[in-house]
Amino acid sequence: MTEHDALARQFETSRDHLRAVAYRMLGSTTEADDAVQEAWLRVSRADADDVDNIGGWLTTIVSRVCLDMLRSRRARAEESLGAHEPEASAGRRHERAAEADTLLADSVGMALVIVLEKLAPAERVAFVLHDMFDLTFDEIAPIVQRSPVATRQLASRARRRVQGASGSVETDRRRQREVVEAFLAASKAGDLEGLIAVLDPDVVVRGDAAAVKLGGHAEVVGAAAVADLFKGRARKAVVGLVDGEVGVHVPVARRMLLVFQVAFADDGRIAALDVVGDPAAIERLALASLTDSSDD
């Protein structure tokens, strides 16, 4: 048996698990099947010689595929539940898909499926992988391209929304926008006390390799250190949406130079800032301006 054959057999053994992961993220059996197929295409082209945990590796790949699909869905501003409604003219295949969706939704819980649709892509992935499939935040962090601290915050916020404890997404967004705007204003004004006021005491800033090359830092921890880092800076930064979540855009010369993914503590202060400078990584993010109308 060749290595490719062995990998194919392992993939088939894991197919049901991978499909379950994809369904809980996407809420559609049709899209889940598409995600698993795309995952296999990526797996078949990859080198698995140095992979110790094949099952975990496969879960990571299908999760990344699902995250890309969720981001694409968000970027197209689809109404997710409506987008999955089968059309009567589409034939028996869609009828079977609708029946399968209903059966799977019954097993997961229709109410949960509906609530998950309201989560931002990274929130949804973090919550599903941690709360439903027991992955650690260290394992999930590379998938959602966040630090483990920020990933924990994503899952925590998603959990509160699922449990109905955090109010509406619109209310969360409005409060988070106010905090980020206060952070940027204090940064531009060089207001050290104003910065510290909106930062969690244990806030973490992490920059990718591209951000570090632009003068950023790989990691800075603590409110005082982070406030000192941003004091008098952020001149071109503006509040914006990143994968449907409140974050920061830094556009320069008609291109997006940096993107800040922001995680918030339970009390609303900023708990983590993940700075993305890699153009390919920025391209994969769903970015949108945050105007007054978005809060209505």
Cβ atoms of 70 and 121 within 8 Å: the answer is yes
Q: Name all contacts of 73-78 with Cβ < 8 Å and 24+ positions apart.
A: 73/121, 74/120, 74/121, 74/243, 74/244, 74/286, 75/286, 75/288
What share of the chain has pLDDT > 70, as a percent?
81
Write out pLDDT tens, residues 256-292.
999 999 988 878 899 999 999 999 989 888 888 876 4
H or E stretch at 260: strand 255-264
Integer Cα distance of 5 and 250 in angstroms:
46
* 55-114: pLDDT as tens digits: 899 999 999 999 999 888 776 654 444 444 433 333 444 444 444 444 444 444 555 666
Task: Please say if the pLDDT value at position 146 is more than 70.
Answer: yes
**Is pLDDT above 90 for 205?**
yes
Sign of the four-CA dihedral 172, 211, 225, 149: positive
Quick check: 272 and 220 in contact, CB under 8 A? no
The overall pTM is greater than 0.85: no
Tell me the C-alpha distance between 181 and 118, whole Å: 24
For helices 54-75 and 137-144, give the axis angle rounded to 10 degrees. 40
**Local structure of 95: helix, strand or coil:** helix
pLDDT mean over 166-181: 78
> Is pLDDT at 253 greater than 90 in this prediction?
no
Domains of the chain plus CATH, in order, are 3-117 (no CATH), 169-295 (3.10.450.50)
Q: Is the pLDDT of residue 237 over 90?
A: yes
Can you tell me the distance from the alpha carbon of 126 to that of 136, in angstroms, rounded to the nearest whole number? 10
Find how far residue 243's CA is from the centre of its chain: 6
